[in-house]
Amino acid sequence: MGIKILKTSSYVPGEPIDNSYYVSYLDTSDEWIRQRTGIETRYISKDEGTETMSVKAAEKLELTDEEKARIKVVLVATTTSTSTVPINACILQGALGLSEDIYACDIGMACAGFVAALRMADALLKEGELALVVGVEVLSKMSDKTDRSTVILFGDGAGAVLIEKNDKESYFEGGSRYSEVLASKLLPMTGDVEYLTMDGAAVFRFALEVMNASMNNLLERSGNSYDEIDWYILHQANKRILEGTARKFGVSPDRFPMNMNKYGNTSSASIPLLLDELNRAGKLKRGQKMIMAGFGGGLTWQAVYLEW
C-alpha cells in the first residue's frame, strides 16, 4: 500500500517582491540573481506566521464534513514555526474543527520536511483514513537583510495536501548528515532573532549528490527507467540544481517543473506550492508517475516515488 494525494492547495502572503528591491540597497544585480538562482520574485510575510498561513492554505482545500471526519493524521512541516507551543498542527486541528482522536505533529526537517511528512503519513494512515499534510515557512524572519548571499533566496508561503492510502506502492528514500562546516551557526529556538547562514556552494554540491543517489534508488526499487517518470518535483532551491539533475538523468527539463522564479526558496513549502500550481493548471493526470525530493538544512534529504 502507498499514498495517494487527493487534493492540493496553497497560500502566499502579500504582494510579490522583485529583485529590484534587493538591488536598491545591496551590492547585487537582477542578472546575478536570475542567472545564479532562477529567482525573480518572492512573497514576504508582513505579520502572518506559520500558524496563520497553514490554516489559510488548508482552508483552501475546501474539506467536506465527511473528509474532516476521516482525517486522523495532521502533520505540519516547518522550520520557522511562529510558536513552539502550541504546535501548528494543533492550531490547524482547532481551526478546522477536527476531532480529538488524531495524530497531530509538527515536523522540522528543513527543506526535506514536506516529503518527510508524507513518509510519516504513509506509516501512520490506515485504510479509509485521511491525512492533512502542510508545508509552511516564514524564512524571511530568519534572513539577514544585509546578507546578499541568503536574503535574495528565501520566500514565505504554505502548501497543503489531503492524502489517503491506496493499493499502489509508494517508495521512500532519504538520510541525514551532520556537517560542522555547513552548520555554521546554531539557530536558537527562542530568544533574540538569529539569522540563517549557509555555505551555498557546498550545499549545492550536496544537493546534486543526494538527489542523484536517492532518485536512482527510487527508480531501481519501483522498476522504472528515468524516462518512465512523468514528473520530477524537486525542492525549488535553485534552477541550476534541477537543470543539472535533469541533464545527469538525460531527461527533458520539462519533466522538472519549476516555480522558484515566482516564490524563491520556500523550504518545506516549495514542493506543495509547486504541486498545487501543476494540479490547478490540470497538468497532473491520475496514474502518472512522480518523484518528489527535498534536500537542505541539517543536512537532510527525503524522496518519494508515487503514482498521482
Q: Does 244 bind ligand UT7 (CB under 6 A)?
A: no
Query: What residues are paired with 132 via a beta bridge?
Result: 74, 162
Per-position x/- string for 245-284, each x denoting binding to ligand UT7 as judged by CB under 6 A, each - no binding: --------------------x-x-----------------
Minimum separation from the CB atom of position 298 to ligand UT7 (A): 9
Q: At what angle do helices 200-222 and 239-249 cross, to 10 degrees?
A: 40
Question: Would residue 111 show up in a list of annotated catalytic residues for this protein?
Answer: yes
* Cell numbers given for 78: 516547518
The answer to whether residues 39 and 265 touch, using CB atoms and an 8 Å cutoff, is yes
Place of cell 490554516: 55
Q: Check 19, 235, 238, 279 and give the catalytic one.
A: 235
Q: Which amino acid is at 96?
A: L
Q: What angle do CA 99, 101, 102 make, to 5 degrees?
A: 90
Q: Name the catalytic one among 88, 111, 238, 279.
A: 111
The strand pair at 71-77 and 103-107 is best described as: parallel
Of 36 and 289, nearer to ligand UT7 (C-beta) is: 36
**Does 10 sit near ligand UT7 (CB under 6 A)?**
no
HSE at residue 161, side-chain half, CA atoms within 13 A, is 27
Neighbour count for residue 106 (Cβ, 10 Å): 26
Looking at the Cβ atoms of 37 and 302, the one nearer to ligand UT7 is: 37
Tell me which of 19, 238, 265, 279 is the catalytic residue.
265
Reduce the DSSP state of residue 39 to 3 states and report it. coil
- Interactions with ligand UT7, residue window 27-86 (CB under 6 A): 28, 32-33, 36-37
12, 61, 98, 152: which one contacts ligand UT7 (CB under 6 A)?
152
Q: Does 161 engage in binding with ligand UT7 (CB under 6 A)?
A: no
Site for ligand UT7 in 92-121 (CB under 6 A): 111
143 binds ligand UT7 (CB under 6 A): no
Least CB distance from residue 296 to ligand UT7, whole Å? 3
Kindly list the distances between the CA atom of residue 198 and the CA atoms of 155, 242, 258, in Å, as whole numbers in the listed order. 16, 19, 22
Catalogue the active-site residues.
Answer: 111, 235, 265
List residues near ligand UT7 by CB under 6 A: 28, 32-33, 36-37, 111, 148-149, 152, 200-201, 203-204, 207, 237-238, 265, 267, 296
